[in-house]
């Protein structure tokens, strides 16, 4: 309730231009939890994440409630949202090719959140950038922070995004299909990195994906989204072994086709 820590989204509805895109979505991520949000393309996964940070277009009509540590974020003043954004909840976007500013050095982008939230100076920012670059496993971190994004590979850029999302030390990480644009080997490395960061930093995660094989490594429980509604919720293993909803079954079957470990439960 109002004293609860973590994220509690309840009955979230989103309408844009008279079209109801999200219809009563419930998702909760308590301290230290790893929760998944799965669903097909266009089911409303990204909209849900953007709504949490108050980053939907201004003409979007919102209903329901989004509570962070008991504080209502829906309709909260910009001042409250600015504190939460980056400082308490970080986000990693789907496409590493577009999520970084092509004209800004990697180091400056990594520490944007830290400079905004923790008054880190110029010299401190550089040291922090190198430290974070090292933590997320960028090769030659002291060199990498002086590069521009086009000089890095897709997987490296995704590591930069993760470092940037962590720089202001948030407690919750929203991950919007962070591995979808990567090849399977790199995908596996990034999942490993996120799992390690979750452990070492005590980070909760809300992990969005359409791939149950990926979900299995990134979350313990998950909600299944279909056309803006949650159709099923439960532990990931159960979603894999005995999905109830047609959507979850379809996602499971698709995962069996693409995952190398086949139908291993």
Partner 1 sequence: MSAPRLGRARHPPLPRTASRRPGRAARLGVLGWTGAALVTVVLLVALVSLLWTPYPPQAADPYARWAAPGGSHLLGTDASGRDVLSLLMAGARTALLVAVLGGALAGLTGVLLGAVGALTPHRVRTATAVLIDVLLAFPTVLLAMLLASVLGGSLGVVIGAVGLGFGVTIARVLRGEFRTAAASDYVLAARAAGMGPVRILRDHQLPAVSGVLIVQLSWTMALAVLAEAGLSYLGYGAGPEVASWGRMLADMQSYLAVYPLTVLWPGLAVTLTGLGFTLLGDGLRDAGGRR
Ligand X SMILES: Nc1ncnc2c1ncn2[C@@H]1O[C@H](COP(=O)(O)OP(=O)(O)OP(=O)(O)O)[C@@H](O)[C@H]1O
Would you tell me which residues interact with ligand X (CB under 6 A)?
A: 16, 21, 39, 41-47, 57, 210
Stretch of 68-76, 124-132, 143-151, 205-213 contacting partner 1, by CB under 8 A: 143-151
Residue 134 has phi, psi (to 5 degrees) of -65, -45
- The residue among 31, 41, 37 whose CA lies nearest residue 6 is 31
- Pick between residue 48 and residue 204 the one whose CB is nearest to Mg ion: 48
Segment near Mg ion (CB under 5 A); pick from 40-48, 55-63, 102-110, 160-168: 40-48
* Region of 42-50, 102-110, 167-175, 230-238 interacting with Mg ion (CB under 5 A): 42-50
Question: Phi, psi at residue 180, to the nearest 5°?
Answer: -65, -35
- For ligand X, the closer of residues 43 and 158 by Cβ is 43
Closest among 183, 156, 36 to 100, alpha carbons compared: 156
Token look-up 């072994």 returns 241
**Cα–Cα distance between 233 and 102 in angstroms, integer?**
39
Measured from the CB atom, the residue of 48 and 221 that comes closer to ligand X is 48
Burial label for 229, CB within 10 Å (0-12, 13-18, 19+), is middle
**Binding flag, residue 253, partner 1 (CB under 8 A):** no
Residue nearest to Mg ion (CB): 46
Which residues have CB under 8 Å from 186's CB, separation 6+?
Answer: 153, 154, 155, 158, 179
Binding site for partner 1 (CB under 8 A): 50, 53, 55, 58-59, 82-87, 90-91, 93, 95, 98-105, 108-109, 112-113, 116-117, 137, 139-140, 143-144, 146-148, 150-152, 155, 161, 164-165, 167-168, 186, 189, 192-193, 196, 199-200
């Amino acid at each position: 309730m109002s004293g609860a820590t973590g994220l509690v989204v309840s009955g979230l509805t989103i309408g844009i231009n008279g079209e109801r895109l999200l219809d009563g979505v419930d998702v909760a991520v308590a301290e230290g939890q790893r929760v998944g949000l799965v669903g097909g393309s266009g089911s409303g996964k990204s909209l849900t994440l953007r709504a949490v940070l108050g980053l939907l277009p201004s003409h979007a009509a919102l209903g329901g409630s989004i509570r962070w540590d008991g504080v209502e974020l829906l309709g909260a003043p910009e001042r409250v949202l600015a504190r939460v954004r980056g400082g308490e909840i970080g986000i990693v976007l789907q496409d590493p090719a577009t999520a970084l500013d092509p004209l800004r050095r990697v180091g400056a982008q990594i520490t944007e959140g830290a400079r905004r939230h923790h008054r880190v100076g110029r010299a401190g920012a550089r040291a922090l950038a190198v430290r974070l670059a090292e933590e997320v496993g960028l090769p030659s971190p002291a060199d990498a922070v002086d590069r521009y994004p086009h000089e890095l590979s897709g997987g490296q850029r995704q590591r930069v995004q993760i470092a940037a999302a962590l720089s202001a030390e948030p407690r919750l990480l929203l991950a919007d299909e962070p591995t979808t644009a990567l090849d399977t080997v790199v995908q596996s490395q990034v999942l490993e990195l996120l799992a390690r960061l979750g452990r070492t930093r005590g980070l909760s995660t809300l992990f969005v994906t359409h791939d149950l094989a990926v979900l299995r490594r990134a979350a313990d429980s998950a909600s299944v989204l279909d056309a803006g509604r949650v159709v099923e919720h439960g532990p990931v293993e159960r979603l894999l072994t005995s999905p109830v909803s047609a959507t979850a079954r379809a996602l499971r079957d698709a995962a069996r086709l693409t995952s190398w470990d086949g139908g291993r439960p």
